[in-house]
Amino acid sequence: MSNKIVEIHESVIETMGRISSFWGFSKIMGQLYGLLYLSSKPLTLQEMAESLSISKGNVSINIRNLLRWNMVKRVWVKGDRKDYYEAETDFWKIIRGVLREREKKEFSQALSSIGKLRQQTKELKRISKTADIAFTEERLKNLEEFIANMDKMVSVFITLEDLKKNFWDLTKKA
Amino acid sequence: MSNKIVEIHESVIETMGRISSFWGFSKIMGQLYGLLYLSSKPLTLQEMAESLSISKGNVSINIRNLLRWNMVKRVWVKGDRKDYYEAETDFWKIIRGVLREREKKEFSQALSSIGKLRQQTKELKRISKTADIAFTEERLKNLEEFIANMDKMVSVFITLEDLKKNFWDLTKKA
DNA sequence: TTAATCGTTTAGAACAATCTAAATATATAA
DNA sequence: TTATATATTTAGATTGTTCTAAACGATTAA
């Protein structure tokens, strides 16, 4: 590969690293993904470690996280016992997966926490009608409604994207 | 305040801290916001530091960040030289602000980085037509299109929320 | 002006995350 | 089975973040 194209690859990898840490993943995860995304053939742990000048162990744990988020796939190369990896290139599929597992989980957790606490406050209000209990209940009500709405928005997004995907798959088959 | 309601407040504050660090803000920021959100009157630095058992300096820098994101407001209490703070309770307004400043900035930065690199790759392709240059160009094209779409989605969201807000303001005035 | 009361900054401590190199575990081929 | 190639785990080093206590600076009241 020409010098210039190698430079371009490195810049893309750097950018991916920045994006990755911005979204709360590790920098290395983004860089590994960028490396694989720009590679026309699957790569081994060893190759990735050398390309990014990091240890094999570091690649190992970060690749495992990428696998967990379905951002890379492990592929088989016949006659070679090394593991090979390639990038998942369908970004919408990645987003759907991340929203489903990460955001969804966080929203429902927050929703149930706040819901429970609001319930406790309501019960308290039945017993004693003080100003601060009423105030707390009002605030928790608004908070719970907001989180429920965010939760719904994410669900709608996932559903829409799923529909789009299924429709696309159908048109391809037909 | 009763013992029970204090316990509830503490749980909400804890939950807010968790949400905050999940979204890439500091835990203390979330806790401070929670404290103010549940307070029926504005609080001083001193009061917040005592409530959360953290240093005044720590409150100072975290409150400054909350102000930066328009998540809290500084309010004046006549005849008192202390600064008082209260929570911004309009969550959609907060989201709009954060998207506008944080996400927007990140998207346009990524978009311009990748755009430039894609342009360089295109120029390279005019000179020499190797397989890896063509491959790189194809990948960068897809990546750029994806980021542009995300950017558009965020813009649409902000615009819609702004419209909703303006409409609401109008109906209130009428 | 001086004393008192705040808010902010800073130096260093405490803590947490990330990385490497080496050890260990696992899988394949001879 | 044994030897070899590979992946994963781990202990400790490194780095980065966040916190506190104290110093500093600014503002107000006397």
Read off the pLDDT of each residue in A21-37 and give the average, rounded to a whole number. Answer: 94
A104-154: pLDDT as tens digits: 888 999 999 999 999 999 999 999 999 999 999 999 999 999 999 999 999
Domain shared by B99 and B83, yes or no? no
Helix then strand then coil, in percent of chain B rounded to 5, is 75, 5, 20
Read off the pLDDT of each residue in B94-123 and give the average, rounded to a whole number. Answer: 93
Query: Residue B24 pLDDT more than 70?
Result: yes
Is A136 at the interface with chain B, CB within 8 A?
yes
A45-100: pLDDT as tens digits: 999 999 999 999 999 999 999 999 999 999 998 888 899 999 999 999 999 998 99
Query: Residue A172 pLDDT more than 80?
Result: no
Count of domains observed in chain A: 2
Give exposure, B88-105, as e/b (b: 16+ Cβ within 10 Å): beebeebbbbbbeeebee
3-state secondary structure of B86: strand
Which chain A residues are within 8 Å of B18, Cβ to Cβ? 110
Q: Which residue in A15, A22, A136 is closest to B114 by CB distance? A: A15
Domain shared by B18 and B47, yes or no? yes
Q: Which of residues 34-93 of B touch strand C (CB under 7 A)?
A: 44-46, 56-57, 60-61, 63-64, 81-83
Q: Which of residues 55-84 of A touch strand C (CB under 7 A)?
A: 55-58, 62, 79, 81
Q: Whats the size of chain A, residue-wise?
A: 174
Is A124 at the interface with chain B, CB within 8 A?
yes
Confidence of residue B79 (pLDDT cuts 50, 70, 90): confident
In this complex, the answer to whether residue B95 has its CB under 7 A from any atom of chain C, a nucleic strand, is no
Domain shared by B114 and B166, yes or no? yes
Domain shared by B77 and B99, yes or no? no
In this complex, the answer to whether residue B53 has its CB under 7 A from any atom of chain D, a nucleic strand, is yes
Range of the domain at A111: 91-173
Is A19 at the interface with chain B, CB within 8 A?
yes
Give exposure, B131-150, as e/b (b: 16+ Cβ within 10 Å): eebebbbebbeebbebbeeb
Q: What is the DSSP string of B128-170?
A: ---HHHHHHHHHHHHHHHHHHHHHHHHHHHHHHHHHHHHHHHH
User: Which chain D nucleotides are covered by protein, judged by CB under 7 A?
Assistant: 5-10, 17-22, 27-29
More confident residue, A29 or A79: A29
| Domain CATH for A78 | 1.10.10.10
Domain shared by B60 and B105, yes or no? no
Q: What is the DSSP string of B90-127?
A: -HHHHHHHHIIIIIHHHHHHHHHHHHHHHHHHHHHHHH
More confident residue, B132 or B79: B132
3-state secondary structure of B36: helix
Domain ends where: A65, A87, A109?
A87
CA distance B79 to B65: 26
Angle at B25 between CA A154 and CA B5, to 5 degrees: 85
Domain shared by A79 and A17, yes or no? yes
What pLDDT is recorded for position B174?
63
Domain shared by B82 and B97, yes or no? no
Domain ends where: A53, A87, A121?
A87
What pLDDT is recorded for position A126?
95
Domain shared by A8 and A34, yes or no? yes
- Where is average pLDDT lowest: A34-43, A64-73, A95-104, B162-171? B162-171
Domain shared by B83 and B96, yes or no? no
Domain shared by A136 and A163, yes or no? yes
Domain shared by A8 and A49, yes or no? yes
Domain shared by B101 and B44, yes or no? no
CA distance B83 to B81: 7
CA distance B173 to B37: 27
User: Could A8 and B40 be called an inter-chain contact, meaning their C-beta atoms sit closer than 8 Å?
Assistant: no
Enter the tokens of residue A28: 């290395």
Q: What is the percent of chain B where pLDDT is above 90? A: 80
Domain ends where: A58, A87, A116?
A87
CA distance B24 to A29: 17
